[in-house]
Structure 1
């Protein structure tokens, strides 16, 4: 489903955005990581540097770059003038005071497994989530399904429970989530009307069904194509990243 909105004062139209970046297989070179670090705000760069594992740092960095690319290209705010803040729940949002003269653009990001994903809409509130087909980390499959009970109809749950062994049940569960990025990663997008949004940006209170949308897979060059550096190069930032282990022995989902 494509949603369009006249861009106030810009004489153009804006449409929904669906982007994905393979943060898991990404093995940044020194020059790539240092350039990425120069293209995010100071507090973002420091926060990313504090991640213990490289996988989480890469996911967070790609998420920040993806948001800035979205705002720079769709809202025409110069990259180095974009100001991002976080809600008390940790969700990033645009804090620039120019929102009264350009169209609002709602966005949300998520990451798990090998991808960071972004969904954005010019009219509706939007939420996005990605899941990788895998066994639950700290609970049984049955308990995981109990927690997720409200996500599907009785008919859908019946299909899940009669699928076969636990792996097959999990695979059907994730397939109900919407778009498949590959044979292991599934993405769900929720849309909400403006008058049903939560207290903070990115919180969707009432879902609107959406037809599955195609996610565009971005490269590192895509992430930085509109970038403007905002800080000097810091070789220590690369050494800090290079010293990190890729991931823990038991990977869990981390906030972006």
Structure 2
């Protein structure tokens, strides 16, 4: 089965006129128009990178020519592949894919024969309140055990990192089981190992409790790295994420296989792209035609490949004519809201 993990660093991407206009020509017109409506350049760049990552995946891994790729959105606004599927050279198993972008990165995760979801976060000081007030607002999102772990982490920054780590695990789990606003976040509780995360080290000690029962077969792996849209089931973020996404982009990587009854035959990894960014990837039910999965202990660590802009567009071909006014509009945008700039500077 195929597996893809790609990342693109939007935060350091400063596209010139030719690059921005070429990128705009390589996505569908309605997506180009949607991206053009973003108020801030940071959001426009993240969305553009996300569309290019997705189209690159469909072109390179599914064998669909760039010009034939058709992405549409569900009534809930979630993208899906509308182009008729083709058999890949690797196998006839369908690909599932998920994209997320926050902070400095856009990340794509894709898996053949399994559903996949992704979430991204960054450790940063809250821009609208103190850490204490921020935690008070978010009290109901974690269990007493989780709050104890968060608030005993050390400094305020360490507590925030622990907060975002727990949030990433919960959000990834919710996306994996395909629920959204109706899921009580306190039903799932994570028990983190006492052993600290270290670079290039994979751990398996994190435990998940569902409805106060430990899922003993779950395996949690943590891997630090210096350098993740699904067409099978929609991703829906809890309303609380709308607040969190303004203040973090701490990435956690989360892999696990789920059956509809939430069996625990799976794998969970957490990974840092850098000191602040954590990406979460959740794998859903395996296709019935898949061979029996290997035990988690035999699975290699899944790492992300950080692509350059040239690599991002190396399979791209223009779909529309050049629109000079699109650059004129983009270059007038502020990079980010002033509050986000101030928060970033203070951390």
TM-score normalized by structure 1?
0.79
Counterpart Cα distance in 1 of 2:300 and 2:151: 25
User: Is the aligned partner of 1:168 residue 2:172?
Assistant: no
Unpaired runs of 5+ residues, structure 1, are: 5-14, 196-207
Match of 1:180 among 257, 267, 272: 272
Q: 1:122 pairs with 112, 122, 137, which one? A: 112
Mapped contact 1:128–1:189 kept (Cα < 8 A): yes
Structure-2 residue corresponding to 1:203: none
Structure 2: gaps of 5 or more residues: 167-251, 253-269, 288-295, 342-347
Does 2:223 correspond to 1:233? no
Using a 3 Å threshold, how does the CA distance of structure 1 residues 95 and 137 change in structure 2: closer, same or farther? farther
**Residues 62 and 87, structure 2, Cα contact 8 Å, conserved in 1:** no
Mapped contact 2:40–2:334 kept (Cα < 8 A): yes
| Structure 2 partner of 1:132 | 122
Q: In the alignment, which residue of structure 1 is the partner of 2:213? A: none
Q: 1:54 to 1:136 in 2, by over 3 A?
A: same
Q: d(CA) in 2 for partners of 1:216 and 1:144? A: 36
Higher relative contact order, structure no. (Cα contacts within 8 Å, ≥ 6 residues apart): 1
Aligned residue number for residue 97 of structure 1: 84
Question: Which of 303, 325, 338 lines up with 1:214 in the alignment?
Answer: 303
Residue 212 of structure 1: how far off its partner (Å): 6.0
In the aligned structure 2, how far is the partner of 1:39 from the partner of 1:247?
25
> Alpha-carbon deviations, 1:71-110, whole Å to 9, x = none?
0000000001000011223221101123589542111111
TM-score (normalised: structure 2): 0.59
Match of 2:11 in 1: 24
Distance 1:183 1:133 in 2: 9
Q: 1:107 aligns with which of 94, 97, 114?
A: 97
- Mapped contact 1:179–1:213 kept (Cα < 8 A): no
CA distances 1:200-234 after superposition (whole Å, capped 9, x unpaired): xxxxxxxx9x9863111011001100001111111
Match runs of 1:81-92 below 5 Å: 81-92=68-79
1:37 lines up with 2:24 in the alignment: yes
1:179 and 1:212 in contact (8 A); partners too: no
User: Are residues 160 and 192 of structure 1, via their aligned partners in 2, closer, same or farther at CA, if it must alter by over 3 Å?
Assistant: same
Aligned to 2:142: 149
| Correspondent of 1:46 among 8, 13, 33 | 33
Question: What number of residue pairs does the alignment pair up?
Answer: 223
Q: Distance in 2 between matches of 1:71 and 1:84?
A: 10
- Name the counterpart of 1:75: 62
**8 Å Cα contact 2:95-2:110 kept in structure 1:** yes
